[in-house]
């Protein structure tokens, strides 16, 4: 009952008793008592993001909203939180991503400030967006804001006042190519998110070094300041995590990438040349050698390199989702994959097992 008293006093504008204020506080208090769960929310704005979608439910309690159409106060955010959110619009995005987590009420979580799950969902959804298509999408530099949604008015003292949570995973994109989410992209975004959840279920056991590959893939977005030379090194490291062997060489890595991703002779040739040039640029950068014009060209358009790494990660995610007895981590770590890529029949079988298809 003390919580009800706090709510009533908070809602009262003066010291005089107001029946309407009392009735409103009591009604919302009763509504909260009838609910059997807490809903924890997190939100942040998306930078370099554009979409014609006003509201889009995605997966796992995550949705994207145009900021003008989302009922922040109705969902429990305080004036303080909204002020922190609006401080960081910077004119780079008009959409917010919202994630929720529901838990059953119990005495143990009566004053629980948050579960951390909604913030983790946002970080995972950001990765899913990046794995779906090109575009330098990021989240606000202050990270997600969190709130506890309840059936009572915003600013309620029960449960505890909402707060601000900062994420160190992503620092936000300052510049870059805009990311456009179309309705046709939504199923793939949801699928990528589900695949990332499958990885988490392995409890830290990195299959095909996919965790390391994704880590450096995302680093190519999150470095501040964003430098193309650092992005090339990150992307090369990501590809090496998936394709590398004890006897790593630019030729072998480029050959593997071309054999896996290329659906035709012309495409394999193009990918081989691009990957070898990118690895050459990477070696030049890390050894402090002088960059030649061909290296400068790679740095100027490193997103083409990133698109290939994205396809590699997607292929290995598919293989993790649909395991195959032959195509194991050992298979890629040794020379079995190199032998199979020399056979049209075996290459086709491998590509199909990784969700890739030959060009008709």
pLDDT in tens, 224-254: 888 999 999 999 999 999 998 666 688 999 9
According to the model, what pLDDT value does residue 314 have?
98
CB neighbour class for 60 (10 Å; exposed up to 12, middle 13-18, buried from 19): middle
Residue 6 pLDDT:
61
Mean pLDDT, residues 334-339 taken together: 92
Predicted TM-score (pTM) of this structure: 0.86
pLDDT of residue 245: 67
Tell me whether the omega of the peptide bond preceding residue 196 falls within 30 degrees of 0, making it cis: no
Q: What is the mean pLDDT of residues 248-270?
A: 93
pLDDT (0 to 100) of residue 21: 78
Confidence of residue 154 (pLDDT cuts 50, 70, 90): very low
Q: How far apart are CA 8 and CA 22, in angstroms?
A: 6
Radius of gyration, alpha carbons of the chain: 25
What digits encode the pLDDT tens for the residues 290-312? 999 999 999 999 999 999 999 99
Flag the least confident range among 92-96, 102-106, 205-209: 92-96
Residue 165 confidence (pLDDT):
44
Encode pLDDT of 191-208 as tens digits.
Answer: 999 999 999 888 667 789
The total number of residues written for the chain in this structure: 360
The whole-number pLDDT of residue 215 equals 96
Q: Answer yes or no: is pLDDT of 93 > 60.
A: yes
Lowest mean pLDDT across 33-37, 136-140, 275-279, 346-350:
33-37
């Amino acid at each position: 009952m003390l919580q009800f008293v706090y709510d009533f006093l908070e809602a009262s504008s003066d010291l005089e008793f107001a029946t309407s204020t009392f009735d409103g506080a009591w009604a919302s208090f009763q509504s909260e008592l009838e609910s059997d769960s807490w809903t924890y929310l997190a939100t942040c704005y998306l930078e370099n993001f554009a979409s014609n979608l006003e509201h889009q439910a995605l997966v796992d309690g995550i949705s994207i909203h145009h900021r003008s159409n989302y009922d922040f106060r109705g969902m429990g955010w305080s004036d303080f939180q909204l002020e922190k959110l609006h401080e960081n619009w910077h004119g780079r995005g008009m959409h917010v991503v919202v994630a929720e987590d529901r838990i059953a009420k119990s005495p143990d979580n009566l004053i629980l400030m948050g579960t951390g799950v909604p913030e983790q969902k946002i970080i995972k959804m950001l990765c899913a967006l990046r794995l779906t298509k090109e575009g330098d999408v990021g989240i606000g530099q202050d990270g997600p804001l969190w709130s506890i949604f309840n059936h009572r008015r915003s600013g309620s003292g029960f449960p505890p006042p909402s707060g601000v949570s900062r994420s160190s995973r992503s620092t936000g994109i300052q510049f870059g190519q805009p990311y456009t989410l179309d309705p046709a992209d939504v199923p793939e975004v949801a699928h990528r998110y589900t695949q990332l959840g499958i990885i988490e279920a392995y409890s830290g056991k990195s299959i095909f070094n996919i965790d390391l590959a994704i880590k450096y893939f995302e680093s190519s977005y999150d470095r501040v300041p964003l430098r193309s030379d650092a992005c090339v090194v990150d992307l090369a490291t990501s590809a090496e995590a998936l394709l590398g062997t004890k006897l790593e060489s630019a030729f072998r890595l480029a050959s593997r990438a071309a054999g896996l991703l290329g659906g035709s002779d012309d495409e394999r040739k193009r990918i081989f040349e691009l990957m070898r040039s990118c690895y050459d640029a990477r070696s030049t950068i890390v050894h402090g050698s002088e960059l030649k014009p061909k290296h400068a060209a790679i740095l100027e358009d490193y997103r083409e390199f990133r698109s290939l790494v994205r396809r590699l990660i997607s292929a290995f995610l598919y293989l993790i989702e649909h395991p195959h007895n032959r195509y194991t981590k050992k298979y890629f770590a040794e020379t079995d994959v190199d032998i199979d890529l020399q056979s049209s029949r075996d290459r086709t079988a491998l590509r199909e097992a990784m969700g890739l298809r030959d060009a008709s």
